[in-house]
Amino acid sequence: MDQLCQAALDVRLRAHAPFSKFLVGAAIEDDQGRIHTGCNVENATYGLTVCAERVAVFKAISEGARKFRRIAVAADAPKLTPPCGACRQILWEFCGDVEITLVNLQGRTETLKLKDLFPRPFDDTFLG
């Protein structure tokens, strides 16, 4: 198993998901080869829940990373689980057309580019 996918699988076990019981882990590799991880953290209001992908990106940013090579997202579902819309937007803004590997507990993977999941993203080019 690739180190990035394994990191996403491992951090998934730290998720705080008492309501959905749907544990998700994400691992993002910066341009220096460092791996930053995140897991989903639920809140009783659901609206304040933060997904694993956003936790990983924000954690990496807070640790000084600014450029990213790839991200892995791990969940326990037979159907591989892609990032939600909010996460796709954050990934686009901070990572661009990054490579995303989806992985499940059975070891099934799929790798694609963010542009395949998010074909017409909104970004700063529309602001001015």
DSSP string over the chain = --HHHHHHHHHHTT-B-TTT---EEEEEEETTS-EEEEE-B--TTSTT-B-HHHHHHHHHHHTT---EEEEEEEES-SS-----HHHHHHHHHHHSS-EEEEEETT--EEEEEHHHH-SS---GGG--
53 belongs to the catalytic site = yes
Q: What are phi and psi of 91, to 5 degrees?
A: -60, -40
Q: Which of 29, 53, 93, 99 is catalytic?
A: 53
Return the active site residues: 53
